[in-house]
Structure 1
Amino acid sequence: MIVRMLVILLWLPLQAAAQGFAGLGSDADGFAVPTPDPVFDFPQDHGAHPDYRIEWWYLTANLTGPDGTAYGVQWTLFRSALAPETREGWSDPQVWFAHAAVTTPEEHFVTERVARGGVGQAGVSVQPFEAWIDDWQMAGPSFDALTLTARGGDFAYDLTLQATGPLVFHGENGFSVKSAQGQASYYYSQPFYEVAGTLTLPQGEIPVTGSAWLDREWSSQPLAETQSGWDWFSLSFDTGDKLMGFLLREDDGASFSSATWIAADGTTTAYPNGAFTAQPRDWSEVAGREVPTEWAVQLPDKGIDVTVTALNPNAWMAVSIPYWEGPVTVEGSHTGHGYLEMTGYE
């Protein structure tokens, strides 16, 4: 999703902080806002949209080593605008930051980078595609064929990604509504990457293969003032079908949901608020707080009734504004794997 927007608070005006989670319900004065019936222009829309306040290139991967051990990888580049324009040099109002993580059944490695726009330290170009911050890079001849690299103090990865299916558009042809009040984003994904490469962990290099899911999203006011956090699921089933679903939690205990069913051939079905449900089944103490790490997830229209369980309950993203994100397993009416992101648990 998403939203993954928790970290944006670092770069929003201070007076916005009380308006929705991480200030993301604050007024978008001066910025462009998403409207229904979008017309996407590729490859240009794989690049940045500086007239919108927030944007991200967000990849998660479920990988397996030679001995069958499961791993998760995250690579995210965020753009946040202080003003809807670009300028050369340090006065550029575009701010970039990034997160990279590797999750194993026993450990979770994470680091972050921050950069100012206008000086070449971070950015996105589209022909050929390249998204970068410092020496972290997601790049290739096209959006369908990419190399992904990042490193932290105690981990690194070098992966190749090849798309085997089409782009997927969420909501109403890419217009993704986030609240009953109508806040929205533009949101599409490439959930069909096959992955191969190498993880470098304290125990050495590990060859891995698997699959990856890349989310693209941009907006200026994606949340309502009353929304305090979210739970986002990307699930890949052994049948080849996939499911994206999220809950945006309200201050009063209610929630707003949305989902996209992605058939194995890439055709989609969008589901409105209430069709997708997710209920916590078990909680873990993580970084001094209680976080749900086992969920009952249902989409009755597709016969989905599954238990989603964290591979490692301690997949806490200890970054400037922390959150939980990690790989999950899926059991029940369908089996498979995926990723879970949770914010707003304090």
Structure 2
Amino acid sequence: MVILVLFLLASLAPWRFIGPSAEAGEFRKALPGYAFAFPRDHYSHDEFRTEWWYYTGRLRAENGEEYGYQLTFFRSGLTEVQANPSRWAVRNLYLAHFAVSDIPRKTFRYFERIGRGAVGQAGASENEFRVWIGNWGVTGDGIHQRLTAKEGDFTLNLILVAKKPPVVHGRDGVSQKGPGRGQASHYYSLTRLAAEGTLNVRGKEHKVAGLTWMDHEFGSTQLHPNQVGWDWFGLQFDDDTELMLYSIRNADGSYSAGTWVAADGEPVRLRKKDFSIQVLDRWQSPRTKGTYPIRWRIRVPSLRLEVTVTPAFPDQELDTEKSTQVIYWEGAVMGEGRRRGRQVTPSGYVEMTGYAGPFKKKP
């Protein structure tokens, strides 16, 4: 079992986009024509190899202090299901990341977990919206959700309420990530969830309220071996619109795309040619020596949108050696800009991978 887990972790990148896999043949591929149906598609999709439920948010405490958080759950289907009907049989491996950005103090803490899908240790239901590893979890019906996570003197307990319907990204039910058939995912977001609850930071409990972004993605083989990293932006604007952009870094960047969501929830699909992301500054991690973009100018000419995005503070890097074995940057951001001549203010999260070394299988 230990060797199986180590092999799985060494050959898989189960986070924002799913890495190359030679063992994914027995799983269903993400192909055009998939018809999303809710609430069913909030649940687990065990016929696909990899799946994740991703939450990030900006929260304000009663004393005015601001915090960011990330809570992400990953499911990885094992390639050889045990024939033994024992309750100890393992069909899925579960991993999770929990991070808190203390913006006033510019401090960042993160935690990671791994659990087997057996004897109640961890799981994701195919029959209801429930995902958990120990006392970290999400439950709900999609419109209403509850998030919980506790690690040491950090505790998150939030009630989320969706203010917009789910937004499906890509075309014909798939978000293409590479040139090959099935190098794609089924990907949707809840881009504006009202959040309310408590956040315990270093033993001090705060009543908090704010906004959360949820992504849910599932597939079996997404990235081409030559793709070495990506940048992802999830921005919520003060005019009730949202913007998601991803840019996969390879020779031509041809699988970069995005979605703009209007105030009424109507999505507008964006292709690579529809937007630009200009790096304005960089930061080097003192631990991993990875050098990350740290300030950006984003332009979407068709929307007459131009914004500058900056992290709440630079050091929001995770080194997940104990779970997904990936070094990545995922942090709270803020910004300023204009859309159609009117001032707009974005806040949200950015994720970057491949800057502390390209993704590839570990030997």
TM-score (ref. length: structure 1): 0.89
What one-letter code is carried by the residue in structure 2 that aligns with 1:277?
S
Aligned to 2:346: 336
Alignment of 1:107-122 (within 5 A): 107-122=107-122
What one-letter code is carried by the residue in structure 1 that aligns with 2:348?
G
1:261 aligns with 2:260: yes
C-alpha separation in 1, matches of 2:260 and 2:17: 29
Alignment of 1:1-346 (within 5 A): 12=8, 24-27=19-22, 28-83=24-79, 89-105=87-103, 106-125=106-125, 128-140=128-140, 142-181=141-180, 183-202=183-202, 204-250=204-250, 252=251, 254=253, 256-286=255-285, 287=287, 288-320=289-321, 321-333=326-338, 334-346=344-356
What one-letter code is carried by the residue in structure 1 that aligns with 2:171?
E
Question: Does structure 1 conserve the Cα–Cα contact (< 8 Å) formed by 2:247 and 2:253?
Answer: no
C-alpha separation in 2, matches of 1:110 and 1:275: 35
C-alpha separation in 2, matches of 1:241 and 1:10: 42
SS at match of 1:274: helix
CA distance 1:277–1:325, change in 2 (3 Å): same
C-alpha separation in 2, matches of 1:139 and 1:129: 6
C-alpha separation in 2, matches of 1:181 and 1:277: 25
C-alpha separation in 2, matches of 1:154 and 1:24: 34
Displacement of 1:179 after TM fit? Answer: 2.6
Greater shift in the superposed pair: 215-224 or 91-100: 91-100
Displacement of 1:254 after TM fit? Answer: 4.4
What one-letter code is carried by the residue in structure 2 that aligns with 1:341?
E
Greater shift in the superposed pair: 81-90 or 281-290: 81-90
Aligned to 1:3: none
CA distance 1:23–1:238, change in 2 (3 Å): closer
Displacement of 1:238 after TM fit? Answer: 1.0
Question: Does structure 1 conserve the Cα–Cα contact (< 8 Å) formed by 2:199 and 2:208?
Answer: yes
Question: Does structure 2 conserve the Cα–Cα contact (< 8 Å) formed by 1:130 and 1:137?
Answer: yes
Measured against aligned partners, the alpha-carbon deviations of 1:112-139 in whole angstroms (never above 9, x if no partner) come to: 1101113221112366522111011211
SS at match of 2:41: helix
What one-letter code is carried by the residue in structure 1 that aligns with 2:291?
E
SS at match of 1:37: coil
C-alpha separation in 1, matches of 2:120 and 2:173: 30
C-alpha separation in 2, matches of 1:201 and 1:305: 35
Question: Does structure 2 conserve the Cα–Cα contact (< 8 Å) formed by 1:62 and 1:70?
Answer: yes
Question: Does structure 2 conserve the Cα–Cα contact (< 8 Å) formed by 1:58 and 1:75?
Answer: yes
Where does structure 2 lack aligned partners over 5 or more consecutive residues? Answer: 339-343, 357-363
Displacement of 1:339 after TM fit? Answer: 0.6
Measured against aligned partners, the alpha-carbon deviations of 1:39-62 in whole angstroms (never above 9, x if no partner) come to: 123332211112211100111111
Displacement of 1:102 after TM fit? Answer: 0.7
Measured against aligned partners, the alpha-carbon deviations of 1:267-326 in whole angstroms (never above 9, x if no partner) come to: 111122332221221111223321111111121111121111111211111322221101
Question: Does structure 1 conserve the Cα–Cα contact (< 8 Å) formed by 2:121 and 2:134?
Answer: yes
C-alpha separation in 2, matches of 1:173 and 1:116: 34
TM-score (ref. length: structure 2): 0.85
Aligned to 1:4: none
Greater shift in the superposed pair: 206-215 or 287-296: 287-296
Displacement of 1:63 after TM fit? Answer: 1.1
Question: Does structure 1 conserve the Cα–Cα contact (< 8 Å) formed by 2:45 and 2:126?
Answer: no
C-alpha separation in 1, matches of 2:302 and 2:133: 42
CA distance 1:179–1:299, change in 2 (3 Å): farther
Measured against aligned partners, the alpha-carbon deviations of 1:18-37 in whole angstroms (never above 9, x if no partner) come to: 9xx99812343222101112
C-alpha separation in 2, matches of 1:294 and 1:67: 28
Displacement of 1:230 after TM fit? Answer: 0.7
CA distance 1:12–1:48, change in 2 (3 Å): same
C-alpha separation in 2, matches of 1:256 and 1:163: 29
C-alpha separation in 1, matches of 2:138 and 2:20: 30
C-alpha separation in 2, matches of 1:31 and 1:249: 26
Displacement of 1:67 after TM fit? Answer: 3.3
CA distance 1:17–1:306, change in 2 (3 Å): same
Measured against aligned partners, the alpha-carbon deviations of 1:64-101 in whole angstroms (never above 9, x if no partner) come to: 12233221111111001122758653332311010111
What one-letter code is carried by the residue in structure 1 that aligns with 2:130?
E
Greater shift in the superposed pair: 123-132 or 324-333: 123-132
Q: CA RMSD in A?
A: 2.4
Q: Figure out how many residues of one structure are paired with residues of the other and give that number.
A: 333
